[in-house]
Amino acid sequence: MQYIGAIDQGTTSTRFLIFDQQGKLVTSHQVEFEQSCQKPGWIEHDPYDLLDSAIKCADEAMRKFEWMGNDPRDVKAIGIANQRETTLVWDNRTGEPLHNAIVWGDTRTNKLVKRFAKKPDAEIIQRLCGLPLHNYFSALKIRWLMDNVEKVKTAFDKEKAMFGTVDSWLVWNLTGGVQSGVHVTDVTNASRTMLMNIETRQWDPQLLDFFDIPASILPRIVSSSEVYGKVKWGPLEGLPISGCLGDQQAALVGQKCFSVGEVKNTYGTGAFLLFNVGHKPVFSTHGLLSTVAYQFGPDKSPVYALEGSVSVAGGAVRWLKDNMGIIEESSDINVLASKVEDTGGVQFIPAFSGLFAPYWRDDARGVLVGLTQYTNKYHLSRAVLEAACFSTRAILDAMKNDGNLPLKVLKADGGMSNSDVCMQIQADVLGITVERPAMNETTALGAAYAAGLAIGVWKDTDAIQKLTVDTKDTFQPKWKTDEREKRYAMWEAAIERSYGWTDIYDSSDES
């Protein structure tokens, strides 16, 4: 039996998981790390926390693997799935981070978005990279660091700076860092920077010129499945790193959405829907993103996806726990939400960082509407779950309009999908079947598939499709059509009430 390890580096925690060649989870270990929010709208991570947590998780998981009677030498390679868009800059001579990582949901670049939107050639951006000009993506985070952090400015001036998303930071350090580290990023992560041409899959000179970012700091773009280098130290020493996917693309692969028209939704901190559109990018006219889904080998054709991103899904559950103190554990929300049949007219819009697809409103902020003296914590808890489900519907409606394909099944994974209450609400809101795999670690599994394909554990995606299919839970819609449309109309009315708040109060004005 051969085994593949996977680093799953997420927004709030890191995990290391080991899968066998049937795609079954053998063991894992998870470590949470600190979120730094120094100002309203700012979210940062310590780059060393990202690296150290990956090493600690790998060490513990490999130890468990051996305790189970397995030979660590049977682990043949590792893959990486990572939070995307999160931006790191470090010194190429010392390896020292020049600033904390700026996380994907950080909104400090709102003013930069407005500034760059006024440039005469701003309309070229989405046609070149498939992404709208928005604070979500990496390019403006790099620009903010260059403009506002003296240490970063100096490093750029002296040509000592290196940029990477989290995958680049991990691969560079694990393969030797300043000694011999490999500076690469896979095509799925590169497609989230606003700097890669979506069709050529190379850094685009026009985009680099638009944002005034030097090409010298950028990693080399590679496919999602090839040997990038070997780990030079730590518990994984000697293992090839042979797979890399942004976490949402990894979940698409883990759900085996290899056919055009298949769609998955990952309910993590945010919620992310990816819709397989085949070997040519589809440019959305309904607020979706064009992105690379995967490329299994440097000589293979890439597969593209339409993506809809919800900025806050499970993050709202965490807010309910950590900020509001309404629940003690995230799972408590299911108990509270199940106490009532509906939200009592309450709608919750968790636009903590603005609204992502299909609205793309930087000026929106979270709102809670429809409150009466009747409202209680049960209604609020249910409204938080419904928010993720209605946000998902808005994106699926846009996908149907862009792809002109009826969607009959939604494949669900991620933390919030563990909630039967949430998944039933999702089926009710959409009016279609929702499927949840019994083995919910699809993100890490996708990274493992990519790594295994590169070294021959699996010959191709057909071989992966033939692996034993795990059992799944299925949720069927119960709401009648009239009720579904009435509730969705309430959601849309609440969405409109979230617009324009930063015109009244802009937290970036406070320092």
pLDDT of residue 37: 81
Neighbours of 400 (CB within 10 A): 15
Digit-by-digit pLDDT tens for the chain (511 residues) are 899 999 999 988 999 999 999 999 999 999 988 888 888 888 999 999 999 999 999 999 999 999 999 999 999 999 999 999 999 999 999 999 999 999 998 888 988 988 999 998 888 898 999 998 888 899 999 999 999 999 999 999 888 999 999 999 999 999 999 998 999 999 999 999 999 999 999 999 999 999 999 999 999 999 999 999 999 988 899 999 999 999 999 999 998 989 888 889 988 888 889 989 899 998 888 888 899 999 999 999 999 999 988 888 888 898 989 898 888 888 889 999 999 999 999 999 999 878 888 888 888 999 999 999 999 999 999 999 999 999 999 988 888 777 666 677 888 988 888 899 999 999 999 999 999 987 778 899 999 999 999 999 999 998 998 887 566 889 999 999 999 999 999 999 999 999 998 877 765 554 4
Residue 3 main-chain phi, psi, to 5 deg: -130, 155
pLDDT of residue 135: 86
CA–CA gap between residue 153 and residue 165 (Å, rounded): 19
- Quick one: how many helices (H) and strands (E) in the chain? 17, 21
Q: Is 292 helix (H, G, I), strand (E, B) or coil?
A: strand
Question: What token pair was written down for 32?
Answer: 């949470």
pLDDT of residue 470: 64
Domain ranges of the chain: 1-37+44-84+224-511
CA–CA gap between residue 199 and residue 128 (Å, rounded): 8
pLDDT of residue 262: 84
Output the pTM of the full model.
Answer: 0.85
pLDDT of residue 47: 96
Q: Find all residues with CB under 8 Å of 334, minimum gap 6, and list them.
A: 419, 420, 421, 422
Helical H runs in 122-162? 124-129, 138-148, 150-157
CA–CA gap between residue 201 and residue 222 (Å, rounded): 9
pLDDT of residue 511: 42
CA–CA gap between residue 318 and residue 294 (Å, rounded): 30
Class of 1-37+44-84+224-511 per CATH? alpha beta
Smallest CA-to-CA distance from 329 within 461, 418, 256 is with 418
pLDDT of residue 354: 86
pLDDT of residue 404: 65
CA–CA gap between residue 274 and residue 312 (Å, rounded): 16
pLDDT of residue 1: 86
